[in-house]
Structure 1
Amino acid sequence: MKIILADDHALFREGARHLLQQLGGGDIEVLEAATCQEAIIHADLHEDVDLALLDLHMPGVTGVECVVHFQAAHPEVPVVVLSGSESRPNVQAVLDVGALGYIPKSSSSQVMLSAIRLVLSGGIYLPPLVMDQELNPVEAAIASRLASRAQMPCCLTERQMDVLKLLAAGKPNKLIARELGLGEGTIKVHLAGIFRALEVNNRTEAVMEAQRRKLL
């Protein structure tokens, strides 16, 4: 699994890189960037990037500009914003331009990992500072859109569907990893995302539920 980590503070990147390794048992490649442009270049050079973590404020861009520029260049890559700010307007702004999550840097390591896993499984992460307060009309519209998305019959990413099809063919993790050119740790992360998205507990139930939803 490849994750772009863009932040202009090297010390933060170092800590975040070690934390991200926990997602796939060491089978994680973190592509570090100090600017938004470097993040876009990484995505240009690596077509198999699974996620981009972008700091809200980096040199050369202001506010949500990096999210806008990155998604314009690579709309297929999910984006999660990292920020030292816990401002509700900032959260609303990044969601408005298509980010799938907003993680305050004050979050615990466990919260950060859970948020990233949620996005990798096809969900959207909203911090408690938004969920615990009354929503204004724009935020209410966003929440309604997310709820509709959660009710959609197909809730898996393209990569998760690749894994699910091979899973339905009865192939073990090692063969799935080999066919998709991924590590076994990455396959485990995708399987966990599939189980959460389909609300099942094991491989057999996942295949049965996918068939019920006509995903296979």
Structure 2
Amino acid sequence: MKFLLVDDHALFRDGLRYILQQLPETSEIMEAGNFPDGLKLAEQHPELDLALLDLNMPGSEGAISIRYFHQRYPHIPVMVVSSEEDRAIMEKVMDYGAMGYVCKNSSAQVVLGAVGLVLSGGLYIPPQVMRHGGTAARNGDGQLDRRRLHTNEYGLTARQMDVLGHLAEGLSNKEIATAMNLAEGTVKIHIAAAYQILRVSNRMEAVRVAEKLGLIGAANE
């Protein structure tokens, strides 16, 4: 997996890098000390699995910059890691496309959990937002708004759909990783997330259910 860390404090980047290295299949961690340099790295590395951005740093305009990053690189999931704990700002950041928001005073366990959730296609909603029923997290019925998860009507992300298509072709995890330019560990995360969403436990069941729902073409077509 490839990560991008963008924060103007080198000491904090060191700590976050150490935490990310605890994840399996972490292959490369790129760093930038300001927002413009972060944009350059994102441009040069479209295969990034996740970008972790600070809000307040040189070249950044806060939440607006998160929206700009998401609009420019919609294929790269964004998670904000910031010392800002204002709930309104958290909600705005999530509305602007961030897939997660973690405060800098969070434990390593919380960070790892949030990163894992986002990598699997989920949305990490800050407890401060959940407790107050924030608009970024829920719709008018109080239910999680799946549109904010960047998913289709069944809750599957675009990458999970791509993985299902490759499963239907009979590709191995390694072959899928090569085809999608991803780490094999990332492919396993997407497969596990798809299994959970489709409520299946193996490849054959996943393909069968996906075909039944019309998510992929029948294998014999």
TM-score range, shorter chain: 0.7 to 0.9
- Give 3-state SS (helix, strand or coil) of 2:171's partner: coil
Are 2:55 and 2:80, in contact at CA under 8 Å, matched by a contact in 1?
A: yes
Letter in 1 for 2:197: A
1:66 aligns with 65
CA distance in 1, matches of 2:184, 2:17: 19
Letter in 2 for 1:147: D
Letter in 2 for 1:177: A
2:159 aligns with 159
CA distance in 2, matches of 1:212, 1:112: 37
2:192 aligns with 192
Of structures 1 and 2, the one with the larger relative CO (CA 8 A, separation 6+) is 1
Are 2:79 and 2:102, in contact at CA under 8 Å, matched by a contact in 1?
A: yes
2:37 aligns with 38
Letter in 1 for 2:192: A
Query: Please, which moves more after superposition, 95-104 or 203-212?
Result: 203-212
Are 2:106 and 1:107 equivalent residues in the alignment?
yes
Q: In the superposition, relative to structure 1, how do residues 21 and 194 fare at CA in structure 2: closer, same or farther (>3 Å)?
A: farther
Query: Please, which moves more after superposition, 164-173 or 34-43?
Result: 164-173
- Give 3-state SS (helix, strand or coil) of 1:200's partner: coil
Q: In the superposition, relative to structure 1, how do residues 16 and 202 fare at CA in structure 2: closer, same or farther (>3 Å)?
A: farther
Query: Please, which moves more after superposition, 45-54 or 59-68?
Result: 59-68
Alignment deviations for residues 133-180 of structure 1 (CA, whole Å, 9 cap, x no partner): 3x3xxx337511842437943433333222222222222222222333
Are 1:121 and 1:156, in contact at CA under 8 Å, matched by a contact in 2?
A: no
1:16 aligns with 16
Are 1:82 and 1:104, in contact at CA under 8 Å, matched by a contact in 2?
A: yes
Structure 1 gaps, min length 5: none
CA distance in 1, matches of 2:121, 2:7: 24
- TM-score w.r.t. length of structure 2: 0.82
Alignment of 1:18-167 (within 5 A): 18-23=18-23, 25-133=24-132, 135=133, 139-140=134-135, 143-144=138-139, 146-149=144-147, 152-167=152-167
Are 1:120 and 1:193, in contact at CA under 8 Å, matched by a contact in 2?
A: no
Q: In the superposition, relative to structure 1, how do residues 50 and 141 fare at CA in structure 2: closer, same or farther (>3 Å)?
A: closer
Letter in 2 for 1:167: L
Letter in 2 for 1:140: T
- Give 3-state SS (helix, strand or coil) of 2:14's partner: helix
1 or 2, which has the higher helix percentage? 1
Query: Please, which moves more after superposition, 36-45 or 147-156?
Result: 147-156
- Give 3-state SS (helix, strand or coil) of 1:82's partner: strand
- Aligned pair count reads 211
Q: In the superposition, relative to structure 1, how do residues 105 and 94 fare at CA in structure 2: closer, same or farther (>3 Å)?
A: same
- Give 3-state SS (helix, strand or coil) of 2:111's partner: helix
CA distance in 2, matches of 1:209, 1:18: 39
* Deviant stretches of 4+, over 6 Å: none
Q: In the superposition, relative to structure 1, how do residues 124 and 182 fare at CA in structure 2: closer, same or farther (>3 Å)?
A: closer
Q: In the superposition, relative to structure 1, how do residues 22 and 165 fare at CA in structure 2: closer, same or farther (>3 Å)?
A: farther
RMSD: 2.4
